Amino acid sequence: MLDDFGRLGLAWRETNPSDAELETVIHDLLEGQYYNPVRIVGFNIAEGWSIDASEDIANELRARCDAEGRGVPDCIQDFVDRFEGRRLSSDPG
């Protein structure tokens, strides 16, 4: 996960592979474990691929907050807005 630390700059934050499944990442984001996420990328070195999961995770974060009747936490609000905006701006309807 690429995190923005303001004046200190950007840094890729590593996650223990046992803590990198979707549910743990979503939980950690909702609980404020990241300062200001910029991008979320998944890697599978054994299979030789990577994927930018930012939009999918932003949509999931919004859906969970909506389902729980709560606002998106401030620490991830910009992230959710940025990637939801991509989906909404490309929606032909």
Average pLDDT over the chain, rounded to an integer: 85
- Condensed to tens digits (0 to 9), the pLDDT of residues 2-12 reads 788 888 888 77
pLDDT of residue 93: 47
The structural domain count of the chain equals: 1
Domain span at residue 38 reads: 2-89
Predicted structure pTM score: 0.77
Decide if pLDDT at 72 tops 80: yes
Decide if pLDDT at 76 tops 50: yes
pLDDT of residue 3: 80
Task: Please state, in angstroms and as integers, the Cα–Cα distance from residue 17 to each residue in 8, 25, 52, 77, 93, following that order.
Answer: 26, 11, 17, 26, 39
pLDDT of residue 37: 92
